[in-house]
């Protein structure tokens, strides 16, 4: 997993326009560099969403519950290609047909590791059967569980420190889809250790 810290990510402005590249590691050092990312939520036929608890070795927000899968497209890589690559690497799943349900910019600081998330996040939904095989990588995923997204919003308000700070925003976009966004989505600033129910995001990716 640590080798991914040297992978390249695409730097963007707050409208999503690319203007360069840097490494995963450099992008997440304070004060952070805004870069393109994605968050995937796998949804079963009953509307339940698959959550993963991030592995302890993650460099950002370890052992927090998060959405099904997160990551960064490499420069020139499509979102669908990148997301299915990470679904395969993290969960042993896919390929999955994905639909973008929203996008937003968020910033969050990890008080435990000192790293930051400053990301232009594309929220992707994919339909998935609970009976489909999953082979989670223990270096990526500590646990998996299915959850009702509406109940999850309430739980995020009650116990934000158990969840990755971007998860509220991801669930918000799932429940209130806006489709692909042009122009600048609103900037959400998430203080260390908190969760904001209008925007949050994918980390350790």
Mind telling me the catalytic residues?
70, 119
In 82-156 the beta strands, taken as DSSP E runs, fall at: 98-109, 116-127, 141-147
Question: What residues form the annotated binding site for Mg(2+)?
Answer: 90
Question: What residues form the annotated binding site for Mn(2+)?
Answer: 28, 35, 72, 117, 119
Q: Which residue do the tokens 């489709």 mark?
A: 179
Question: What residues form the annotated binding site?
Answer: 28, 35, 72, 90, 117, 119
User: At 121, phi and psi to the nearest 5?
Assistant: -105, 120
C-alpha triplet 92, 9, 120: angle, nearest 5°: 90
Specify whether the CB–CB gap between 38 and 79 falls below 8 A: yes
Pull the structure tokens for residue 134: 């999953």
State how beta strands 49-54 and 18-23 pair.
Answer: unpaired
């Amino acid at each position: 997993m640590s080798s991914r810290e040297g992978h390249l990510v695409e730097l963007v402005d707050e409208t999503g326009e690319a203007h360069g590249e840097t490494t995963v590691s450099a992008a997440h050092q304070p004060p952070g560099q805004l870069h393109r990312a994605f968050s995937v939520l796998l949804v079963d036929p009953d509307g339940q969403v698959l959550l993963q608890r991030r592995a302890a070795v993650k460099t950002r927000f370890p052992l927090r519950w998060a959405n099904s899968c997160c990551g960064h497209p490499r420069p020139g890589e499509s979102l669908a290609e990148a997301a299915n690559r990470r679904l395969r690497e993290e969960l042993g799943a896919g390929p999955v047909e994905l639909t973008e349900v929203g996008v937003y910019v968020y910033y969050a600081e990890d008080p435990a590791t000192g790293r930051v998330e400053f990301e232009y996040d594309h929220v992707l939904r994919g339909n998935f059967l609970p009976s489909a095989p999953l082979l989670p990588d223990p270096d990526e995923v500590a646990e998996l569980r299915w959850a009702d997204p509406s109940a999850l919003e309430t739980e995020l308000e009650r116990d934000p420190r158990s969840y990755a700070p971007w998860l509220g925003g991801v669930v918000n976009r799932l429940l209130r889809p806006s489709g692909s966004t042009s122009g600048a989505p609103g900037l959400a600033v998430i203080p260390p250790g908190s969760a904001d129910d209008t925007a949050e995001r994918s980390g350790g990716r």
